[in-house]
Structure 1
């Protein structure tokens, strides 16, 4: 009986891992589709609105039990864990392919380590350091790939990649805040409440300072594009985070973190399917990033 239960838990863990990799790996192509009609600000804001509204039933009953310090920290989590990255990813993909954005996103676990060491008294191990160095080399290679001539110089850097890296830094800060500041709250509650707290700002920005409503009513294809962003918010942000938290309970943290290595693969598959061209230099850089992240996260 025990062996059957272990087998069932392992099967569930693998199922969660594959679903999460597909969902999160597909986020970048959904952003790309949304940008065909909407501006980066509109994509980012509507993503937060969709996720926040979907999670309201989970967050509203829990708001009354929070103290002022928890509310303050949850607002910070809402901004660095969801709000700011949503805008940064959308801005990056105006000049960066969805597949490469997915690869750069794999740097998140290493930013968790670096920010934890800088601001939360965590320790960087030798293995972390080696992984960081390898992944850094991969990022540099991806930044200087030049079409038709292998690698260029630093003057050829696509600066929009730094929007993704900044988003990864935000995620790294967010995960450290959750780890050290929210021992008493469950991850699902943290996600739901933090999104609810930044929801009003996203709504105000979206409907008062952008042309989202006008485009939705008057621009051809806007409804479909909004649907893609809605899926991104509800499935790729809200449901995926809940699913990840469930997976952590039925699997080890190391196994759960392995989704990081699968997300770029899914993103690349979507990108190639959509006609994006990756050069040899890109594949070398991609391999270095994924290998570096793997080395840096081994236990």
Structure 2
């Protein structure tokens, strides 16, 4: 597969920063919605429902149903649905049967580093020094955030599953920017979700038929699908098209910060001093990686 020309990133505007924070908030909240949903649905069913409800939300938007402007992009869009949604959602679900969610989130914090590495190979262009410094500082912050919440019972199988899912995210981030630039974010994401919906259906639909969900469980799934797998994905792909995959993936450094704040604010979880240092480093890394002169 021949790599197209790399998108040229620009300096972030206030609107871009707002979208980064909004995506982080929606994806961080997803952990809470999944926890609520697990009381009513099997894990694979939650993965399928979030895709189904996200696709349903986008179906209501006319721009999502617009045809792809380039028919040859259908193949890449199908690949995007598999590597960004179908396989990672299942891998994360299986992994968290073996490792703590804090450890899974910490490993997923490597997504920006993986994204920059994939971009360097894909586009045959090395990232600039400021971006690399920001990515490194941010990743140290994510590790500091997660270490106080990790126990010693993690299995190698679970760790490898999360690493595989994170690498697939990095590949998807680099694919999505080119597709969005050529066809529009809504049209690409909706079709990718439809592909993922079909792929995950054999694992998710049987559990749905055997479940007796409550109103709270359905409310959590609707929020998870419409926000975390609908609006957040569209915002993220739009950012990738504007500022490049490596910088947009900095969202993964903001997610644990938001998750920690939600945990402390909503359920009174204690925040360790090392986690406070991690918050500072994660935010500093995100700022350094995204601060550059407008091109």
Q: Same fold (TM over 0.5)?
A: yes
Q: 1:185 aligns with which of 169, 183, 186?
A: 183
Q: 1:227 aligns with which of 219, 224, 227?
A: 219
Rounded to whole Å, the distance in 1 between the matches of 2:180 and 2:21 is 28
C-alpha contact (below 8 Å) 1:120/1:176 kept by paired residues: no
Where do residues 138-287 of structure 1 align in structure 2 (5 Å cutoff)? 138=141, 145=148, 160=158, 163-180=161-178, 183-207=181-205, 210-216=206-212, 222-244=214-236, 262-272=254-264, 273-274=266-267, 276-287=269-280
Q: 2:113 aligns with which of 110, 114, 137?
A: 110
1:6 alignment counterpart? none
1:31 alignment counterpart? 34
C-alpha contact (below 8 Å) 2:138/2:284 kept by paired residues: yes
Q: 2:79 aligns with which of 76, 86, 91?
A: 76
Q: Deviations over 1:152-195 (max 9, x none)?
A: 9xx77665465444433222211211234664211221111111
1:56 alignment counterpart? 59
In structure 1, list runs of 5 or more residues that go unmatched: 1-9
Rounded to whole Å, the distance in 2 between the matches of 1:245 and 1:178 is 6
Rounded to whole Å, the distance in 1 between the matches of 2:190 and 2:144 is 37
198 and 257 in structure 1: CA distance in 2 versus 1, 3 angstrom threshold? closer
Rounded to whole Å, the distance in 2 between the matches of 1:255 and 1:77 is 19
215 and 146 in structure 1: CA distance in 2 versus 1, 3 angstrom threshold? closer
Q: Deviations over 1:38-80 (max 9, x none)?
A: 33222111111111233335555426x652x322111111111
Moved more, 273-282 or 105-114: 273-282
- The alignment yields a C-alpha RMSD, in angstroms, of 3.9
1:296 Cα deviation from its structure 2 partner: 3.8
1:276 Cα deviation from its structure 2 partner: 4.3
Rounded to whole Å, the distance in 2 between the matches of 1:281 and 1:54 is 39
1:4 alignment counterpart? none
User: Residue 182 of structure 2: SS of its match in structure 1?
Assistant: coil
19 and 118 in structure 1: CA distance in 2 versus 1, 3 angstrom threshold? closer
Rounded to whole Å, the distance in 1 between the matches of 2:160 and 2:281 is 18
Rounded to whole Å, the distance in 2 between the matches of 1:56 and 1:204 is 22
Larger radius of gyration: 1
Count of residues in correspondence between the two structures: 274
